[in-house]
């Protein structure tokens, strides 16, 4: 069911877990939220690495939450 796909975000490759729309329809809301949260965390990690930031875990979570809101749109 998993489909790993590399996408380009500001010259950085990010590996995201995507689902076929038919497969996504079979997922529970909890599974979808878990997948979206994981993708947001991966994007946040890449963002932090690209910007060469030193952040505390709490700050990294806030960054991931911002990307999660963006993914949900």
Other CB atoms within 10 A of residue 39 CB: 19
Query: Under a CB-based contact definition with an 8 Å cutoff, are residues 72 and 35 in contact?
Result: no
Domains of the chain, by residue range, sit at 3-72
At 28-65, the pLDDT tens digits run 888 888 888 888 898 898 889 888 999 999 999 999 99
Compute φ and ψ for 10, nearest 5 degrees.
Answer: 50, 55
pTM > 0.75: yes or no: no
- Asked whether 38 and 27 are in contact (CB, 8 A), the reply is no
């Amino acid at each position: 069911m998993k489909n790993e796909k590399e996408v380009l975000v500001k010259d950085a490759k990010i590996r995201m877990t995507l689902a076929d729309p038919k497969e996504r329809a079979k997922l529970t809301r909890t599974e979808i939220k878990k997948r979206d949260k994981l993708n947001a965390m991966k994007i946040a990690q890449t963002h932090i690495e690209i910007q060469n930031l030193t952040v505390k875990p709490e700050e990294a979570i806030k960054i991931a939450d911002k990307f999660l809101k963006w993914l949900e749109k």
